[in-house]
Structure formats: C-alpha cells, structure tokens
Structure 1
Amino acid sequence: MVEPGADPLGLLVFRVAIAFGIGALIGMEREQSDSGGTFAGSRTFPLFGLLGALVQAFFPAMLPVALVAIAVPLTVAYAGKIWIERDVGLTTLTVAQLTVVLGALTTHSERGAVLAIIVGGVVTVLLSEKGTVHQFADRIAEPERRASVKFILVVLVVLPLMPDRELDALYGLNPRFVWLMVVFVTGLSFAAYVLARTVGARRGIALTGVLGGFVSSTATTVSMAERASETPPLYRVCAFSTIVASIVMFPRALIEIAVVNRALLPYVAVPLGAMTGIGAAVAAVVYRRGATGADIDTEIENPFRLQPALFFGAVFALVLLVSESAHSWLGASGIYATAFLSGLADVDAITLTLSRLAAEGEIPRSVAAIGIVIGAIANTLVKIGLAWLLGTRELARIVLVALGAASVAGLLFVVAA
C-alpha cells in the first residue's frame, strides 16, 4: 500500500481517507439494498468509518465507549425500521458497527489499514451476493447443516485447547499441528464444495471434475465409474470427469506444499506440473471426441463432517510417525516405501508429512519431493484400479491411458532423481 512520505499529518489524512472510502463502499451497497437502504446508506456509513478512524487516532481508549454510544441510536433507528417495515434482519445493524471498527483499524497501524481494506472488500461482496448466499444455504439439507455446525464448533473449541508442543506420550507428535492440518485440508475441500453447490446445475463436466477433485478425487472416481456402469453410453463423459478430478490432485498437493513448506515447491513443481499437463492433454482429446454430448453431475458430500476429519487426523499422525521412523531405520528407501503405501489411501497425508519433515530439516528436500511424487503415483494407480473394478471397460481404457501416462511422467522423474 502506497502511503505519503514521512509527514505524520499526511499519513493520518491518508488513513482517514481510507476509512471514509471503506464506509462509502459499504454504504453504497446498503443504499441499493432493499432491506438496508432506509436504515443507513451512502451518507451514513462513511460517517461510521470516519468516527472509528478519528476516535482511534486521538482517543483510542474511548473506542469501546464510542461503540456503545453509537449502538444506542443505532438500536433506536433499527427499532423504528422494524416498526415501519416489519423487517427484522440484523445485517445492516451489524455492518454499521463493523464499519466503525474497520475505520478504527485504518488509523491503528499499517497492518490494520491493510486488513481493513481486505475485510471491507469481503464484506461488500458478501452483502451484494445476498441472493447467491441464500440459494447456497437452501441447497444444503438439514443433516448437512447440522454436520457442518458440529464440525465448526469442534474446530473452534478443540484447536485452542490443543497443546502446541511435542508430547512424549504421543511419541513426539505436536497435537495442535496435527489438528491444524486436519482443519486446513478439510477447509480446502469445503471451499470447493461451497463453489460446487453455489454453481449448482450450471456447471459442466469440466468444472464437475475440477471441483470433485478438490473435494475428493477418489469419491469422484467411484461416482463416475458407477455412473458409467449404469449408463454405458456416457462412458466418455464419465472418463473425462474422472481424469480431470484425478489430475486436480497434483495442483492441490502444490497448494498444500506452498502452505507448509514453500521452499520445497521448486523441487516438486516440475514433476507434478508434468503429470498435470499430460493428464490434461489426454483429457482434452477425450473432451473433443464427444465428452460434451451431455453433462453429468457428481455426488459431492459436505467435507465438514467430524468422522472423516478424525480419520484423516489419525492417518496423518500415523504417517508422520512412520515416516520419521522409516527414515531413521531405512533412510530414503524407508521414506519412499512409506510414501507409496500411504499414497494408496491418501495423498494429502504424505504430502503434508514430507513437507513438514523437510521444513524441519529431518529429511532432504530432494527425498521429500521424490516421496511426494511416489505418493501421487500410488494414488493415481488406485484411481485406475477403481475405474477397472467399478466402471465399464471403455471407461477404464481411457482412464488407463490418461492417468497411466501421467504416472509414467512421475516415474521418469523418480528414476532420473
């Protein structure tokens, strides 16, 4: 963020202007909202932002008092709105108070100003997409909502309680790190799930494969194989979605590596990128040869469920322990064997494990990179096997060619290394 030079007054004016801009942005959205415009709009919200910025700049200790003081007239105005319009929505009232806080953040610090800009933008988008948000909520069944709420509550309650240190009773595992990885992987899947449910029936087979792969490539493969068995003429469509879902696993692994150990990215970007490119090229050929004749949906389950999350946590902890022991006893070959066996069940666990071990200096980065590629190859072979076992022969042949070629590319990297 570019700010004026060293002039304190210029800097303050700049920060106050940011607060005004955030308030104006939110205010314009509320002005256009049927439920918010009559309560507070394009003139009132910039004043909320200015109030927060000026109080924080000159009377920071009075900010809580200012929030309480402004809550009184806001409540009175809101009560009048309910009386006149019979609208009991709390969104505008809540956003009004949030705007004061965002204004205060702008003059609190440079980091606070950047955060205020980001949050202000997110809030504006969230408010403007009211219809989309409600449509998404309506698509989620009641059991899914309850499962999501339970999972989020467990995350919020359990994560702060987890000890952030290695425990001898758990063979040196750090409970908070293990649970944090569970939350990260599940959150990555949930983001794709939200997008899938938001897009809904409008998504085509390409997007179905991509989103299904980010949520669960294995589940997508099983779903497509079963669909091909039920309706054999759709085998090309199902094969395309299966291939796309499977190769999405490689970019997903790159995202996980970037979060846990960014220094490892250069070692895995080429092999995983090659595997993605080759799989995508074959998928494009399948797409051109008739996969566009019909769209097909995938049964994507809500990943915010406690039982699968706990299962992944147990697998991740086990793989972490086994990998450390295997490296101590057998060296690099032990890591590779563990990576292959782990990859048969879940590629996320071995990816996160080896990224963490390489970050801590327990294993060389080159060994971690080879292990991650081996895990990806093993998981890809599982997808091929599922296509043969559950799908039609035509589906299995196409999947074998695409994912087999991707696996060979990864294997060449392993051999060359």
Structure 2
Amino acid sequence: MIEPGTAPLTTVVLHLGVALGLGALVGLEREQSESGGSFAGSRTFPLFALYGALVAAFFPDALPIAVAVLAAPLTVAYAGKVRYERDIGLTTLMAALVVTVLGAVTMHSERGVVVAIIVGGTVTVLLSLKDPVHEFADRIEAQERFASAKFILVALVVLPALPDRPVDALYGLNPRFVWLMVVFVTGLGAVAYVLGKVLDPERGIAITGVVGGFVSSTATTVSMAEKARQNVSLHQACAFAVATASIVMFPRALVEVAVVNPELFPSVAVPLGAMTAVGAVAAGVLYWRTRSSDAVEAEELRNPFRLGPALVFGAVFAVVLLVSESAHEWFGASGVYATAFLSGLADVDAMTITLSKLAADGAVSTEVATTGIVIAAVANTFVKVALAWLLGTRRLGRLVALVLGIVVLSGVVLVVL
C-alpha cells in the first residue's frame, strides 16, 4: 500500500494522475456514445476515480464505507435517469462503481497501477463495443447458449471439487489437472470460435483457416474437401484453408506447452516455430495464386463449449497420459514416440499436454518430449493430407500434400539435427 506520508510526492501525484486518466478515458467513451445521458460523462467519471484514489490513499480503512456512501447518490441519479429518460440500463451505473474502485486500486501499489490500467482499458473497450457485442449475442442460437452455460457451470462446479492429488483408483492420475486441461483446451477453441463469430459471418478463406485451426482443423479439412469436390474451381482456395488450419495447430501447441511447462517451451519452439514460419510462407504463396473470386466460407463450426466432446477429450487425455508414462517405462523413448504417433493421428492436444506434463515431472527428458510433440504434430498433419485426398479432389490433395509436406520436412529436419 502506498503511504502518502512516506511515499515521495511525485509517486503519489503520478498515481493520482493515472486514476484521473482512467476516469477520463471511461468518461469520454460514455459521453461520446451518449450512453451516460445526464447521469455521468467526461467530467463526472474522473471525479469518481479521484474520489476512490484519495479515500484509498488517506483513509484506506474507510474505503468500503466511501463506496457505500457513493452508491446512495448514484442510486438517486439512476432513478431519475429511469424516470425522465426511460433508460433502465445499468451499464453506466456499474461503470461508475468500477471506475471508483479502479481509482482506489491505483493507490495500492505499483502492481495495482498496472492492474488498474489493464482493467480500465478493458472496460473502455467493452463499453465501446456495445453494438458488436449485441450483434454477436443475437447470432448465437439458444442451443449454443445453453451448451456454453452448461459446460461453464460444470467446469466451475466440478473443477474445485476434484482432488488435487494422484488418486490410486485412477492409476495415479490427478483428476483436477486432467479436468483443468479439458477446460483449457476447450477454452482455446472457444476463443477462436467467438473471434470467428465477431469478425464476420461471411468469413473468407484466411479467417476460415485460422479460426478452424483453433476450433477443429479436422472439421475444417473435411468441410473444404467437400466444397472442392462440389466445385472443382475452388481447389486452390480450399487448399489454402486446409493448409492454414493445419499450420495453426503448431502455434496452438506452443500455447499449450507454455502454459503447462514453460521450461520446455524454448526447446519445442524451435521445430514448431520453424514449421509455422515455413508453412506461413508456403500458404502465402498459395494464397497469392488464389483468385479473389475464390473466397469460400466454411461450414458453420460447432461451439467448442459442449460437454460431450469435452468429456471425450478428458478421457482421451487421461488414457494418453497413462499409456505414455507406461510406454516410457517399458520401452524407453521409442515407446513414447510410438504412442505420440498413434495419439497424433486422432488429437495433438492430448499428446502435447501429456509430454509437457511428463517433462515437467522429470518422467521424460526435454529431448524426448520435444521429439514426441513434433511426431504427434506430423502424424496429425498426415491425417489432413489423407482427408484432402480421400474426401476432396486429386488437385486439392496434391496442393495440400505439397504445402504440408514442406512443413513436415522442415520440422523433421530440425528434430533430427
């Protein structure tokens, strides 16, 4: 906590300035959007922030009382707004309370300033995205909303209740870690899914590939193969979407490694980073060969926040974790590599997280974990090529095989060297 009596005057003034700036930022947004009405605007919000900052700096113990005291006139003002402007929205009222608290947070510490700036910027962006957010909500069907709510509820209820220790009945698995990884992987797909919804419902092939790679590269490949068969003139556009979705799998795996085992990240980043870079160049060349009229959109991707697929992934991940550890004990590195290849044919995420966890626990070496992750990625890439050949056309299969073949070769070379 910053003590005004002991802290340098410049520090106190600087933190007050940050509070004032955050209040002004939110206040300007409220006034420009005309959402504040006569309730509050570009002058009132900075005063809210200063109010919270000064109370926190000089009377920290009285901060809860100060916020409660502020709530009284805000309630009166809100009642007047409802009566005279016929606007019952609570957004501006809540923004006022949040800004007051942010002002107090800026006086807590240097870290508090950083947190306040991040939250204040996020609040401003959220307030300014009123129309896009409402449009996005309108595009989400009731079934999708129900599926998302059900999964989030289960995640929040189940995760804290699971034991955070190895359970003998589950062959030494940590139930909370397994379910946490389910929530994490599903969340990655959900972020991309929301991004695809927000950007444009009529997605072009570039957005289709990127979003599809995070949500389901296999589903994207199948969709593009079917479109290429229906219209042979779209084979280049469909090949670009398939290649992009497959390439996005590599940075997705890097994100998973960074979260589960940051110490493994530098080792894995070399081959997967190279595969991403080579793939991006190859896909870029393919993109420039694609006519602008060849833009296609993928089949509507399903919401990743669904309980059934999440449970399936959790089961697959648990089995892969057990099999990989046992294979390493019985057959050494070769057992891990065989498991990685077989697992990668179905799913890269499970093997990536498994080897990251085993490397963090010291069960496998960094080299074995890195090679295993690359093998799983290569195996899954082969699946995409096979799907393009079998479900699409020969021209689509050749293009996908050429681009992804170059990508695979670059990763294999780096691992071997």
- For normalisation by structure 2, the TM-score amounts to 0.94
**Partner residue of 2:410?**
409
**Partner residue of 2:383?**
382
**Partner residue of 1:89?**
89
**Partner residue of 1:315?**
316
CA apart distance, 1:98: 0.9
Matched, 1:272 2:283: no
How much identity, in percent, do the aligned residues show?
66
Pairing 1:224-235 to 2, within 5 Å after superposition: 224-235=224-235
For residues 249 and 26 of structure 1, what CA distance do their matches in structure 2 show? Answer: 38
**Partner residue of 1:347?**
348
**Partner residue of 1:333?**
334
Three-state SS of the structure 2 residue aligned to 1:248 is helix
Pairing 1:351-370 to 2, within 5 Å after superposition: 351-370=352-371
CA apart distance, 1:208: 1.6
Three-state SS of the structure 2 residue aligned to 1:283 is helix
**Partner residue of 1:215?**
215
**Partner residue of 2:257?**
257
Structure 1 segments unaligned to the other structure (5+ residues): none
For residues 171 and 16 of structure 1, what CA distance do their matches in structure 2 show? Answer: 55
**Partner residue of 2:55?**
55
Aligned partners of 1:22 and 1:117 also within 8 Å:
yes
CA apart distance, 1:255: 1.5
For residues 167 and 364 of structure 1, what CA distance do their matches in structure 2 show? Answer: 24
Query: Which residue identity does 1:379 align to in structure 2?
Result: N
For residues 291 and 333 of structure 1, what CA distance do their matches in structure 2 show? Answer: 45
Aligned partners of 1:20 and 1:47 also within 8 Å:
yes
Aligned partners of 1:237 and 1:292 also within 8 Å:
no
Three-state SS of the structure 2 residue aligned to 1:108 is coil
CA apart distance, 1:354: 0.8
**Partner residue of 2:113?**
113
CA apart distance, 1:266: 2.3
Aligned partners of 1:256 and 1:352 also within 8 Å:
yes
Tell me the alpha carbon deviations over residues 357-393 of structure 1, each in whole angstroms, 9 at most, x when there is no partner.
1122221101100000000001001111111221111
For residues 163 and 69 of structure 1, what CA distance do their matches in structure 2 show? Answer: 43
Note closer, same or farther for the CA distance 1:21–1:140 as it changes in structure 2 (3 Å cut).
same
For residues 396 and 143 of structure 2, what CA distance do their matches in structure 1 show? Answer: 34
For residues 37 and 375 of structure 2, what CA distance do their matches in structure 1 show? Answer: 57
For residues 168 and 367 of structure 1, what CA distance do their matches in structure 2 show? Answer: 27
CA apart distance, 1:202: 5.5
Aligned partners of 2:16 and 2:50 also within 8 Å:
yes
Computed over aligned residues only, the root mean square deviation of the Cα atoms, in angstroms, reads: 1.8
Q: How many residues align?
A: 412
For residues 26 and 284 of structure 1, what CA distance do their matches in structure 2 show? Answer: 40
**Partner residue of 1:125?**
125
Question: Which 4+ runs in 1 deviate beyond 6 A?
Answer: none
Three-state SS of the structure 1 residue aligned to 2:349 is helix
Deviates more, 1:284-293 or 1:238-247: 284-293
For residues 188 and 272 of structure 1, what CA distance do their matches in structure 2 show? Answer: 18
CA apart distance, 1:241: 0.5
- For normalisation by structure 1, the TM-score amounts to 0.94
For residues 37 and 64 of structure 1, what CA distance do their matches in structure 2 show? Answer: 27
For residues 67 and 170 of structure 2, what CA distance do their matches in structure 1 show? Answer: 46
CA apart distance, 1:291: 4.4
**Partner residue of 2:195?**
195
Query: Which residue identity does 1:359 align to in structure 2?
Result: A
Tell me the alpha carbon deviations over residues 72-93 of structure 1, each in whole angstroms, 9 at most, x when there is no partner.
1111111110111111111111
For residues 396 and 369 of structure 1, what CA distance do their matches in structure 2 show? Answer: 29
Aligned partners of 2:203 and 2:296 also within 8 Å:
no
Aligned partners of 2:202 and 2:297 also within 8 Å:
no
For residues 304 and 269 of structure 1, what CA distance do their matches in structure 2 show? Answer: 28
